Amino acid sequence: MRIALEAAQDAAARGETPVGAVVVDPATGEVVAVGANQPIGSHDPTAHAEIVAMRAAAEKLGNYRLTGLTLVVTLEPCAMCAGAISHARIGRVVFGAEDAKGGAVVHGPKFFTQPTCHWRPEVIGGVLAEESAELLRGFFRARRKPSTAAHPREGGDPS
């Protein structure tokens, strides 16, 4: 989670929502790939940290299936990312802060509990949750302007 938090801080430094993700091989402890939010800079609405990390891992391993690997992410995955996690066959998801507004694992659609979900990873939430949440809160607090209502992806607080 510390590596994911570092990636989240890098995203914040680029003006992106501070979310970081790491794909790890639990058998060896190897960090296979690291990702950080980059939808603004890459002009790609799908460039969430989880997607970026899984794409890099799949490229590195030469396989779109990431069976048995662990995805560590600083924020509860959204529905898009949960779907990609399922399609990639990630074995375990470890996340930091819960996301009551946009999360889809323990909030919202609870994606992995749906009967249409064909692959369900083990899920562990709350790892370094307060540190992850504070990084997000601090980022949005610094960007907020009292006279302007912020767009959710550009300044709305997900926590």
CB-CB contact of 31 with 69 (8 Å)? no
Instruction: Give the single-character DSSP code of 43.
Output: T
Beta strands in the chain (DSSP E): 20-25, 30-36, 70-75, 92-97, 122-124
Single out the catalytic residue among 16, 50, 76, 98. Answer: 50
Any binding-site annotation on 78? Answer: yes
Please give the DSSP secondary-structure letter assigned to residue 82. H
Q: Is 87 annotated as a binding residue?
A: no
Q: State yes or no: 81 annotated in a binding site.
A: yes
Strand order in the sheet with 30-36: 30-36, 20-25, 70-75, 92-97, 122-124
Strand partners, 70: 24, 92
Q: Is 50 marked active-site?
A: yes
Cβ(21)–Cβ(53) under 8 Å? yes
Catalytic residue list: 50
Tell me the binding residues for Zn(2+).
48, 78, 81
